Amino acid sequence: MTISDIEKRPQFFAQDNVYTPHIAVIEKIIEETPGVRTFHFNFKDKKLAKEFRFESGQ
């Protein structure tokens, strides 16, 4: 299965596997201090991006 194929995405949800990776794009890199950077990611799949929750410690 190709995970960049968005049409097949429901199959991944159906698998209910929290360890399955999804494709994201680095949209921005901020140089906070020398050697420390903040990366801004966004999922390619808009539905997934909307549903995604980030929890502390994740």
Partner 1 sequence: MNKKVSKKEIAQLLQKWGQQFNVLAPSRASGVAAMAEWDGKDTSFLDWYRNTVVPPKARFLPPMEEMFRFSKDEEGYNIEPPPKNEQKQLLFGIRPCDARAMAILDMTFEDAYKDPYYLEKRRNAVLVGLGCTNPCESCFCTSMGTSPTDSTNVDIMLIDIGDAFLVEEVTDKGKELTKGLKEATKNDETEAEKSKKTAYDKITRKLNTEGIKDRLLESFDDEEFWSRTAAKCISCGICTLLCPTCYCFDINDEAVRGEGTRFRSWDSCGFALYTKMPMENPRSEKWRRVRQKVCHKYEFYPMAFDVIACTGCGRCIRLCPVNWDITQVIESVPQKVKGAK
Give the residues lining the site for partner 1 (CB under 8 A): 1-5, 15-21, 23, 36
Q: How far is the CB of 50 from partner 1 (least distance, A)?
A: 19
C-beta of 1 vs 50, nearer to partner 1: 1
- End-to-end distance of the chain based on CA atoms, in angstroms? 26
Q: Are 41 and 21 in contact (CB under 8 A)?
A: no
Q: How far is the CB of 27 from partner 1 (least distance, A)?
A: 19
Position 54, amino acid: F
C-beta of 17 vs 27, nearer to partner 1: 17
Say how far apart CA 14 and CA 26 lie, in whole Å: 26
